[in-house]
Amino acid sequence: MFEILNQSTDKCLVAHMSGKITGQEYQLFLNALDECFKKVNEVDLVMDLKGLEFYGDLEAFKKDVKFGFGEYKKLRKVALVGEQKWIEIFTKIWGTFTPTVEKYFPENEFQKALDWIKT
């Protein structure tokens, strides 16, 4: 499941992904980011990943890889919130390959993630 959360603004997409994300759901995420980039040059992202299982199909995987090596680099800051250890590890590793400032927050620190993204 993908949903845009009400904390979103023109320059910050706040969203939640859970379960097994399909290519169609991932496209909704990409469309929402595109709308932000149409309004401002620098976009931030807070992604609540509580309950995310991973990809539901090959299309979601392909879209994520393409995003990771393309549009992701245009993001100013990214806060990833979740309980999965792999998200924390991914944030540390991926952060060395991109100019995007990234930070992981445990699932109970969603508000801290929102506060951090504003700085």
Q: What is the pLDDT of residues 62-76, one digit of tens each?
A: 999 899 888 888 999
Mean pLDDT of 47-71: 92
Q: Which value, to the nearest 10 degrees, does the dihedral of the CA atoms of residues 101, 107, 109, 113 take? A: 30
What's the pTM value of the predicted model, to 2 decimals? Answer: 0.91
Mean pLDDT of the chain: 91
- pLDDT of residue 79 exceeding 80, the answer is yes
Of 114 and 100, more confident: 114
Q: 2-114 belongs to which CATH class?
A: alpha beta
